[in-house]
């Protein structure tokens, strides 16, 4: 008896994290002979995602995994799945509390903690350099409106004053998860501020964009910290240009989601929140980690 | 008539466009029940004056009176509400809509909920169409009609409202004789109900047939008003262009050359069948027929715009396939098309660039266009055809209708073609220029060109042609030489009667 | 006398409305932040506008010919990814022509569909936007594409090098603009583009090969996209699959801001350049002022409409539209 | 009978032919590729299709009239998001606290009014400035999106009202609420365009604006009304959809304009205006939703979906061209 598992992802084409997630999920499902998977992509559109959940219910799958485009809007659709007796697993970013009753489990990274950890990485580095008393930081966020972007920004901005109260975050602008856009934003920052000590960006793609801008302008000594350690970020760290990031593997993410779903179908007891660990990675400890594949 | 009050009076109207003083203190009035001709050369300001009256342009100075009241025509809507109907020189129709919807555009009859009253609409329309004696009905899509029939739709608008004054701006430019008769009946009917009629045309015979008075404009200036009965073609022409014209035909004294173009058994679907004729160097062949006779389609086939379904085309005795206009041009064929706005001109482009368009690849200076050569071409035809434009940079769309037509003619003459095909070449062209163009066509023939003239104006065909091909419903009925053609046997031929039937 | 000067001012406005609007923005931003007009900033804005700009130059041809090209963004992602991938596989000297060939092939396909088959350009290029995105994802497996040896390659010259004291992207932008400007305004091909866009039927009646002209416009557009992709790839030596996403609308906005009509038949390269610079300087100026990004959206909205409005108002000599 | 119905029906025939092709293809391919035991052409699945077509479909009806009018509206996605925010946010406003569930119709009304006003604002700008609608609404697409973010920053705006959800999920005669709204919008706009003077004038203006002006039609206000209609329908679409889902991301509705325009053009409306009809648009909407659904059904991955959707759009145009091929003897222009 195979398990039919349907997944609807947020927006696969948008970055290599999500694409790698998709292929990792397909690969993991392929390896497990007990699993048949339908892999759908909502293209960032809530309406399409809800339609996909309805389709999965209609196709009578055994479990649904959802990477919500909007943590609240999908609740009624999730309720429908729940009412149809189909267990729902949420992956990567969680849905709102009002929907917890209709969901079996969440599996994914803790984005708020990630933001906080990035703040700590940066603060520690400032302390090493002895500039924690006056450092100025600019912040490049992900695409406006995305849960991941919002949570990481919140984690960072809440944590920084706790660990380094005298560091000031002088400006925040979105880089849309896009290296080029981020490079443009950074170029403007560099013109606007004569003194920038640190740059926090919502992921390494944007971080590297900002780094390129700084290099082109010949500005040295800026501490770059990102999140979701992409291969580019890892390489820039190896080259000594980029200070640190958060190590998060989409493969782990995808496998954890599938595992959670199969465990539920096999009747295992699971905690409601299954965060997988996303450790800090800096130039100091990067040897402990393999280079990301994406 | 003299004691009646004018329905409309315009006083000292001034209108300028950038670089052009189109109207310079023009006065004009029209009496109830009068047909008042407005005449003048191309670009004299006739259409502009009427557009001021119709609320389309606002005058820079002057007053419009209706009865005793000075009025302001703030827009077409106001003009219409005041009882002024405007039949435009350039067709102003929505092609995707039906005939009925076009005729009643802006005032469709309604039922509850804002619904169109289709029954009433088509009844009213069909009643009007019956009066006009046309061969299409209220539900025909306007885009499917010939230009002549579209013009009839335009004219039908005059009959929909209680008009005080109706403006006809060159209504006959694309009509054939039978439709003209209908139009004149319509005008007579309107006249009988005391409507004032303003009639713009370049065709003298019409003017003398139907109008009561004539007002002449020249270069935007008022030249005077005369009683039609007291004037002659010569006197009016004198007023318009300041000289008289020699209208005698300069017969071809030159010898005819070889056959330049021959068509054998050419057919094209439903458009025409089994057409054969030949055109020699030095010869002007006229094509005469009713609307829909298929003359335009023959021209388009020769110009590579349609694929024939049977038959052969021979150029200089050699069978050729002409697949595209570029092909045709390369083989020395020029076509002055029927529809100048749609097919002849790029309205947004300037005069010079329009004129040199077909030979743009030939005018090279290194990798670039040779602008000097372009200017030469433009200057030459600007002068030769007396084109009224403030300069080569003017958008063609801003020229008067007749001057637009001259640009198209200049464009194809400048190609020095072997075979020149002109489809309604003098549509909308003033008498002076028209005789210039006729002279030009004869001269071109004398220089050894083979010329095909398609025209719906019998005098024109009779005047310029060495031979006349009479067509009816897609077939060649008869070919006349200039010696044995008469108006009567020509009319017989194009209405489908063979000589045996007549006899 | 006063009348004449007013007319002269009027016609100056009419001819160069966009340019004047542009200067007005520059002055406004400089007052708001004096750093705005520093050479460093101006250069950096032009440099980052170069990518969008080069694409806009090509799209200008397409728009003048009476069509649209919404596929340029996704095609640019494609060229960027391809050239980066091939860089490590066959070396930059071969990768660049190979990428140009592949991009031109896509342009030829679109040109064939729109020009020869006469399909609606909006839908064709919208379809190609999606299809090329799919192609890019398949090609790259959805992964970021990065050059391994970033320090050791001469490939970085297109995006990061300088010559004559100017960054190479700016020089390429200027070069392409000059070349295409000459083609459009001085050659017979340029004239044909205007004719085909102004009145396709009349162009056909004048013996101009309409299909081939449209086809060529798409090829030019594709060549510009490939050039933009080259600059992009060379600038960061690595790229995401979505690098050009959304650029199609910005490009179109720049072209239209420059005064090209969507109906075809009008527009110039010079004005497109101005349109590109306006967009670039607005974005940069607003960043320097430090407005919230959503205020930037709103201000951009107002500026786009104001700029185009003033431009056409100057042309028609009246502020308000004559539409009844 | 309105003139030309038959010819337009034939011309928009391509889309129906294409829908049948899709149904056949996905049914057959589904047998091999789908994990579901259920057939693709299952009745419930088709009903679901209708419901899922609603968000884009309702807006597409408005786009039809705007495009027939010779304009275009690129800002509908942003209007959609603003209306959704107004709907969800207003339900929590203290002034409405005493209304109980009566807050629902009030919130609906408010959202619809806001949508209509935003549409009308576009129309007013087009009318008064004479700037092309493409540019006006391209600008508004940004500007309105800015307003969306102004409401609540990057946070989603949420208000899950289960009474509302139950209403939106309810079914009447087997059709979901959203389907009813889609059908109603289609019917009303069909009526307006085919039967009323306003609708016929829309065709005239789109076909030949100068002729319409000359005939004395008040072109400016007419266009503004149509923009107001599309604003209203974008808001209606939002109201129907968010009543059920209860939360709006500031990014929602992005790219809707492109999908909507695609549906309208696939349905046979001319981009330059003057021709098109609502029934064809309905076909276009169904065709797109069917495509998305079908590709999901057979389990295509993201890159394939993108590739296929793009190529299919082109294929439909080619099909349409073949169906409307001119005779060999016709003018080659
Ligand atoms: N919109 C415009 N912009 C600029 N110039 C114009 C415009 N409309 C007309 N003109 C110019 O005004 C003059 C008068 O044009 P008008 O159309 O009134 O001539 P017309 O007497 O009707 O000629 P025709 O017999 O050729 O129709 C012409 O020189 C023309 O070029
Ligand atoms: N009886 C008819 N009713 C309506 N349309 C017709 C009729 N006969 C022909 N047509 C159409 O009218 C158009 C004009 O016909 P065509 O151009 O062949 O006439 P023509 O002989 O060139 O006359 P002209 O050039 O004087 O208008 C053609 O497109 C044809 O399809
Ligand atoms: Mg005139
Ligand atoms: Mg004809």
Q: What is the pLDDT of residues C213-235, one digit of tens each?
A: 999 999 999 999 999 999 999 98
| Nearest protein CA to atom 2 of ligand 1, as residue | B398
Low-confidence stretches of chain B (pLDDT < 70) are 1-3, 244-254, 291, 496-503
| Average pLDDT score over residue span D121-144 | 92
Query: Are there at least 3 beta-carbon pairs closer than 8 Å between B and D?
Result: yes
Instruction: Give alpha helix (H) positions in D209-325.
Output: 209-214, 219-245, 256-266, 278-297, 302-323
pLDDT band at D2 (very low <50, low <70, confident <90, very high): very low
d(CA C287, CA A171): 10
- Min mean pLDDT across A199-208, C2-11, D33-42 is at C2-11
- CA angle at residue D251 from D245 to D252, to 5 degrees? 35
Between these two residues, D8 and C175, which has the higher pLDDT value? C175
Rounded mean pLDDT, C268-272: 92
Chains A and D touch (3+ CB pairs under 8 A): yes
Give the torsion sign (CA, A46, A50, A53, A59): negative
The answer, for C38 touching chain A at a CB cutoff of 8 Å, is: yes
**Does residue A119 surpass a pLDDT of 60?**
yes
Please determine, for residue A83, whether its predicted confidence score (pLDDT) is greater than 60.
yes
Name the more confident of C44 and B197: B197
Instruction: Give the integer Cα–Cα distance in Å for B153 and C108.
Output: 44
* CA-B297 nearest atom, ligand 2: 18
Give, in order, the Cα–Cα distances in Å from C66 to each of B43, C195, D315.
Answer: 31, 10, 22
* Interchain proximity D329–B271, CB inside 8 Å: yes
**pTM of the prediction?**
0.85
So what's the pLDDT on residue C101?
97
| Interface B:C, Cβ pairs < 8 A | 76
Structure tokens at C34: 């004096």
As a whole number of angstroms, the distance between CA B404 and CA B429 comes to: 9
Task: List all residues whose CB is within 6 A of at least one atom of ligand 2.
Answer: B 135-136, 145-149, 289, 291-297, 338, 454, 456
Name the interface residues of B facing C (CB cutoff 8 Å). Answer: 18, 75-77, 303, 305, 324-326, 328-329, 335, 337, 342-349, 353, 357-358, 360-361, 363-364, 367-369, 411
For residue C286, with 0-12 CB atoms within 10 Å meaning exposed, 13-18 middle and 19 or more buried, which class applies?
A: buried
Confidence of residue C263 (pLDDT cuts 50, 70, 90): confident
D220-246 pLDDT tens trace: 999 999 999 999 999 999 999 998 888
Q: Which residues of D touch A69 (CB under 8 A)?
A: 249
Cα C270 to chain centroid, rounded: 12
- Give B431 Cα–ligand 3 centroid separation in angstroms: 14
Given pLDDT bands bounded at 50, 70 and 90, which one contains residue D7?
very low
Q: Which of A72, A146, A250 to mutate to test the interface with D (most CBs of D within 10 A)?
A: A72
Mutate to test the interface with B, among D196, D216, D272, D326 (most CBs of B within 10 A): D216
Q: Do A77 and D247 touch (CB under 8 A)?
A: no
pLDDT tens profile C176-206: 999 999 999 999 999 999 999 999 999 999 9
- How high is the ipTM of this complex? 0.82
The answer to whether the CB of A159 falls within 8 A of the CB of A120 is yes
Please give the mean pLDDT across all residues of chain D.
Answer: 86
D252–A60 C-beta distance less than 8 A: no
Helices (H), B201-250: 204-210, 233-241
Partners of B395 in the beta sheet? B350
Let me know: does A232 contact A259? Beta carbons within 8 Å.
no
Q: Is the minimum distance from the CB of B43 to ligand 1 under 6 angstroms? A: yes
B294 C-alpha to ligand 2 centroid (Å) = 6
Nearest-angstrom CA–CA distance, B139 and A285: 82
In CATH terms, B8-241 corresponds, of 3.40.50.620, 3.40.50.300, 3.40.50.11030, 3.30.1700.10, to 3.40.50.300
Of the listed ranges A104-113, B73-82, D278-287, the one predicted with least confidence: B73-82
Buried b / exposed e over B395-431, threshold 16 CB at 10 Å, is ebebbbbbbbbbbbbbbbbbbebbbbbbbbbbbbbbb
- For the residues C135-161, what does the mean pLDDT come to? 85
Atom of ligand 2 at shortest range from CA of B294: 18
Collect all residues of chain D within an 8 Å Cβ-Cβ radius of residue C261: 132
**CA-closest residue to ligand 1 atom 17:** B400
Contact D130 C200 (CB under 8 A): no
Sheet order of strands, A244-246 included: A168-174, A136-141, A198-201, A223-225, A244-246, A280-282
Give the Cα separation of C103 and C75 in Å (integer): 7
pLDDT tens digits for range A145-183: 778 888 899 999 999 999 999 999 999 999 988 888 898
- Dihedral of CA atoms B145, B151, B153, B157 in degrees, nearest 10, equals 170
Instruction: Quote the pLDDT of residue B246.
Output: 65
Structural domains for chain C? 20-315 (1.10.3470)
DSSP for D195-216 reads HBHHHHHHHHHHH-HHHHHHTT
The answer to whether residues B374 and B349 touch, using CB atoms and an 8 Å cutoff, is no
Q: Quickly tell me which residue has 């107002």 as its tokens.
A: C302
- Report whether residue B401 contacts ligand 1, using a CB cutoff of 6 Å: yes
Any idea where the domains of chain B sit in the sequence? 8-241, 257-332+419-436+446-503, 340-416
Which chain C residue has its CA at the smallest distance from A14's CA?
A: C242
CA B239 to the chain's CA centroid: 22
Q: How far apart are CA C255 and CA C53, in angstroms?
A: 9
Q: Does domain B257-332+419-436+446-503 have CATH number 3.40.50.300?
A: yes
**Six token digits for residue D48:** 């679901």
Write down the pLDDT at residue C5: 55
Residue C298's closest chain D neighbor by CA? D143
C245 and chain A: CB distance < 8 Å anywhere?
yes
Write the residue in C188, C198, C202 that is nearest to B344 by C-beta.
C202
- Domain locations in chain D? 57-255+270-278
Comparing CB atoms, the residue among C123, C201, C316 nearest residue D333 is C201
Q: Show which subunits contact B, needing at least 3 CB pairs below 8 angstroms.
A: C, D
pLDDT for res D305: 83
Nearby residues of D205 by Cβ (< 8 Å), 6 or more positions away: D69, D70, D212, D217, D219, D222, D223, D273
pLDDT at D1 over 60: no
A279 to A232, A289, C88: CA distances (angstroms): 18, 10, 31
DSSP-derived 3-state class of residue C210: helix
Q: Which atom of ligand 2 is nearest to the CA of B271?
A: 18
Phi/psi-derived region of residue A76, left when phi > 0, alpha when psi is between -120 and 50, beta in every other case? alpha
The encoded tokens of residue D28 equal 């057959």
Q: Is C177 exposed, middle or buried (0-12, 13-18, 19+ CB in 10 A)?
A: buried
Q: Where are the alpha helices (DSSP H) in B303-455?
A: 325-330, 351-356, 371-384, 401-413, 431-446
The owner of tokens 């549906």 is: D263
Dist. CA B172 → ligand 3 center (Å): 13
Q: β-pairing, B284-289 with B272-280? A: unpaired
Q: State pLDDT tens for residues B379-390.
A: 999 998 888 888
What pLDDT, on a 0 to 100 scale, did the predictor assign at position D231? Answer: 97
Q: Indicate whether residue B280 lines ligand 1 (CB < 6 A).
A: no
Among A83-87, B398-402, D259-263, the least confident range: B398-402
Closest CA to B416 of B467, B358, B367: B358
Whole-number pLDDT of residue B422: 94
CB contact under 8 A, B306 and D218: no
- Average pLDDT of the residues of chain C: 87
Q: What secondary structure does DSSP assign to A166-227, as a single string? A: T-EEEEEEE-TT-HHHHHHHHHHHHHH-S---EEEESSHHHHHHHHHHHHHTT---PEEE-S
Q: Which of C131, C138, C300 sits opposite D310 (nearest CB)?
A: C131
Equal CATH topology for B8-241 and B257-332+419-436+446-503: yes
Chain C to chain D Cβ contacts (< 8 Å) = 166
Half-sphere exposure of C110 (CA within 13 A, CB side): 34
| Cβ neighbours of A34 (radius 10 Å) | 12
Residues of B with CB under 8 A from a CB of D: 54, 56, 75-77, 80-81, 86, 88, 92-98, 100-102, 105-108, 110, 113-116, 118, 138-141, 268-271, 300, 304-309, 324
> What local confidence, expressed as pLDDT, does residue D101 receive?
79
pLDDT of residue C6: 55
CA of B403 to the centre of ligand 3 (A): 9
Q: In terms of CA atoms, which chain B residue is nearest residue C196? A: B346
Mean pLDDT over C123-145 rounds to 89
Q: Does residue A18 surpass a pLDDT of 50? A: yes
Query: Collapsing DSSP states into helix, strand and coil, what is residue B361?
Result: coil
Sign of CA dihedral D73, D77, D78, D82: positive
């Amino acid at each position: 008896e195979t398990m039919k598992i349907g997944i609807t992802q947020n927006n696969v084409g948008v970055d290599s994290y999500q694409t790698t997630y998709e292929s990792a999920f397909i690969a993991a499902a392929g390896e497990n002979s007990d699993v048949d998977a339908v892999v759908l992509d909502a293209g960032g559109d809530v309406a399409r995602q809800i339609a996909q959940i309805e389709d999965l219910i209609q196709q009578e799958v055994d479990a649904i995994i959802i990477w919500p485009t909007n943590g609240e809007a999908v609740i009624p659709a999730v309720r429908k799945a729940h009412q149809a007796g189909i267990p729902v697993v949420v992956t990567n970013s969680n849905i709102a509390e009002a929907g917890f009753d209709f969901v079996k489990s969440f599996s994914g990274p803790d984005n708020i903690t990630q933001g906080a950890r990035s703040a700590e990485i940066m603060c520690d580095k400032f302390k090493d350099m002895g500039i924690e008393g006056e450092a100025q930081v600019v912040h490049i966020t992900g695409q406006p409106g995305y849960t991941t972007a919002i949570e990481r920004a919140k984690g960072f901005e809440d944590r920084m004053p706790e660990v380094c109260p005298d560091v000031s975050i002088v400006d925040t602008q979105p880089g849309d998860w896009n290296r080029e856009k981020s490079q443009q934003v950074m170029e403007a920052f560099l013109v606007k501020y004569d003194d920038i000590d640190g740059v926090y960006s919502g992921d390494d793609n944007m971080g590297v964009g900002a780094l390129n801008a700084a290099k082109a302008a010949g500005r040295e000594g800026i501490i770059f910290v990102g999140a979701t350690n992409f291969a580019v970020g890892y390489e820039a760290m190896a080259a000594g240009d980029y200070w640190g990031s958060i190590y998060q593997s989409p493969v782990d993410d995808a496998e954890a989601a599938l595992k959670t779903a199969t465990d539920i179908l096999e009747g295992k007891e699971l905690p409601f929140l299954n965060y997988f660990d996303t450790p800090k990675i800096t130039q100091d400890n990067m040897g402990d980690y393999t280079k990301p594949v994406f | 008539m003299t004691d009646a009050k004018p329905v409309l009076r315009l006083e000292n109207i001034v209108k300028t466009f950038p670089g052009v003083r189109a109207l310079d203190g023009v006065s004009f009035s029209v009496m109830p029940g009068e047909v008042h001709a407005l005449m003048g050369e191309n670009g004299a300001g006739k259409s502009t004056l009427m557009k001021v009256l119709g609320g389309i342009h606002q005058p820079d100075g002057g007053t419009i009176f209706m009865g005793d009241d000075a009025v302001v025509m703030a827009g077409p809507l106001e003009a219409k509400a005041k009882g002024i109907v405007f039949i435009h020189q350039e067709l102003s129709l929505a092609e995707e809509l039906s005939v009925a919807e076009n005729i009643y555009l802006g005032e469709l009859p309604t039922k509850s909920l804002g619904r169109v009253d289709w029954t009433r609409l088509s009844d009213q329309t069909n009643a009007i169409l019956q009066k006009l004696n046309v061969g299409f009905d209220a539900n025909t899509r306007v885009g499917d009609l010939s230009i002549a029939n579209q013009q009839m739709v335009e004219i039908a608008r005059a009959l929909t409202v209680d008009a005080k004054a109706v403006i006809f701006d060159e209504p006959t430019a694309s009509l054939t004789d039978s439709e003209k008769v209908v139009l004149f009946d319509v005008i007579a009917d309107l006249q009988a109900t005391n409507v004032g009629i303003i009639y713009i045309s370049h065709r003298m015979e019409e003017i003398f047939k139907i109008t009561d008075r004539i007002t002449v404009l020249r270069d935007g200036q008022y030249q005077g008003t005369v009683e039609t009965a007291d004037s002659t073609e010569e006197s009016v022409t004198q007023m318009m262009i300041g000289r008289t014209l020699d209208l005698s035909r300069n017969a071809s004294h030159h010898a005819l050359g070889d056959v330049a173009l021959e068509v054998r058994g050419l057919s094209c679907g439903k458009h025409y069948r089994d057409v054969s004729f030949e055109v020699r160097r030095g010869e002007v062949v006229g094509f005469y027929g009713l609307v829909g006779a298929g003359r335009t389609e023959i021209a388009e086939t020769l110009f590579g715009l349609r694929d024939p379904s049977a038959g052969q085309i021979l150029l200089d005795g050699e069978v050729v396939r002409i697949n595209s206009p570029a092909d045709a041009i390369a083989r020395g064929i020029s076509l002055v098309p029927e529809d100048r706005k749609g097919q002849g001109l790029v309205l947004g482009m300037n005069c010079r660039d329009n004129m040199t368009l077909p030979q743009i690849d030939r005018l090279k200076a290194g990798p670039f266009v040779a602008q000097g050569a372009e200017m030469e071409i433009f200057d030459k035809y600007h002068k030769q055809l007396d084109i009224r434009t403030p300069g080569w940079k003017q958008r063609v769309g801003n020229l008067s209708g007749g001057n637009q037509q001259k640009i198209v003619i200049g464009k194809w003459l400048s190609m020095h073609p072997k075979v020149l095909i002109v489809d309604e070449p003098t549509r909308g062209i003033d008498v002076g220029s028209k005789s210039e163009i006729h002279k030009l066509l004869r001269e071109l023939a004398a220089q050894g060109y083979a010329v095909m003239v398609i025209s719906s104006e019998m005098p024109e065909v009779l005047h310029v042609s060495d031979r006349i091909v009479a067509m009816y419903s897609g077939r060649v009925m008869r070919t006349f030489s200039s010696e044995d053609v008469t108006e009567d046997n020509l009319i017989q031929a194009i209405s489908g009667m063979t000589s045996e039937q007549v006899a | 006398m006063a009348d004449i000067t007013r007319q002269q001012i009027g016609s100056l406005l009419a001819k160069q409305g966009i340019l004047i609007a542009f200067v007005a923005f520059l002055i406004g931003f400089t007052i708001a932040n004096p750093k705005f007009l520093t050479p460093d900033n101006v250069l950096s804005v032009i440099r980052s506008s170069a990518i969008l700009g080069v694409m806009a130059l090509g799209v200008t041809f397409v728009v003048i010919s009476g069509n649209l090209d919404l596929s340029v963004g996704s095609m640019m992602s494609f060229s960027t990814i391809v050239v980066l991938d091939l860089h490590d596989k066959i070396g930059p000297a071969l990768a660049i022509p190979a990428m140009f060939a592949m991009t031109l092939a896509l342009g030829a396909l679109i040109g064939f569909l729109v020009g020869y088959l006469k399909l609606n350009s909006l839908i064709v290029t919208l379809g190609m936007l999606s299809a090329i995105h799919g192609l890019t994802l398949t090609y790259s497996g959805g992964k970021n594409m990065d050059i391994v040896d970033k320090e050791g390659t001469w490939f970085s010259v297109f995006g990061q090098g300088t010559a004559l004291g100017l960054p190479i992207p700016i020089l390429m932008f200027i070069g392409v603009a000059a070349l295409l400007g000459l083609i459009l305004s001085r050659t017979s091909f340029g004239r044909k583009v205007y004719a085909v866009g102004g009145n396709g039927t009349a162009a056909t009646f004048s013996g101009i090969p309409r299909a081939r002209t449209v086809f060529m416009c798409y090829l030019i557009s594709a060549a510009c996209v490939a050039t933009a992709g080259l600059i992009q790839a060379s600038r960061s030596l690595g790229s995401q699959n979505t690098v050009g996403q959304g650029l199609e609308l910005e490009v179109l906005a720049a072209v239209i801001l420059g005064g090209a009509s969507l109906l075809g038949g009008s527009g110039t390269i010079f004005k497109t350049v101005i349109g590109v610079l306006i967009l670039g300087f607005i974005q940069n100026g607003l960043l320097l002022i430090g407005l919230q990004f959503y205020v930037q959206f709103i201000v951009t909205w107002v500026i786009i409409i104001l700029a185009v409005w003033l431009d056409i108002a100057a042309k028609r000599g009246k502020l308000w539209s004559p539409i009844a | 009978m309105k003139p030309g119905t038959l010819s337009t029906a034939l011309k928009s025939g391509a889309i129906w032919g294409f829908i049948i092709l899709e149904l056949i293809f996905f049914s057959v391919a589904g047998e091999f590729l789908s994990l579901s035991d259920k057939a693709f052409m299952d009745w419930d699945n088709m009903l679901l299709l209708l419901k899922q077509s609603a968000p884009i479909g309702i807006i597409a009806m408005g786009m039809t009239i705007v495009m027939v009018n010779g304009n275009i509206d690129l800002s509908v996605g942003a209007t959609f998001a603003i209306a959704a925010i107004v709907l969800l946010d207003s339900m929590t406003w203290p002034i409405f606290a005493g209304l109980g569930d009566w807050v629902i119709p009030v919130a609906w009304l408010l959202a619809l009014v806001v949508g209509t006003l935003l549409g009308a604002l576009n129309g007013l700008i087009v009318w008064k400035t004479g700037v092309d609608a493409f540019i006006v609404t391209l600008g508004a697409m940004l500007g309105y999106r800015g307003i969306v973010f102004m409401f609540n920053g990057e946070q989603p705006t949420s208000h899950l009202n289960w009474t509302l959800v139950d209403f939106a999920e309810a079914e009447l005669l087997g059709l979901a609420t959203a389907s009813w709204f889609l059908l109603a919008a289609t019917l009303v706009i069909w009526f307006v365009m085919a039967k009323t003077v306003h609708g016929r004038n829309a065709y005239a203006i789109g076909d030949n604006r100068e002729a319409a002006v000359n005939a004395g039609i008040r072109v400016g206000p007419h266009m503004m009304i149509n923009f107001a209609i599309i604003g209203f329908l974008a808001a209606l679409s939002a109201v129907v959809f968010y009543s059920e889902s209860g939360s709006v991301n500031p990014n929602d509705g992005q790219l809707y304009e492109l999908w909507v325009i695609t549906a309208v053009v696939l349905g046979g409306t001319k981009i330059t205006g003057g021709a098109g009809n609502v029934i064809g648009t309905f076909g276009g909407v169904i065709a797109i939703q069917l495509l998305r659904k079908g590709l999901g059904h057979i389990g295509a991955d993201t890159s394939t979906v993108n590739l296929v959707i793009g190529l299919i759009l082109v294929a439909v145009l080619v099909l349409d061209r073949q169906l409307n091929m001119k005779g060999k003897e016709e003018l080659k222009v």
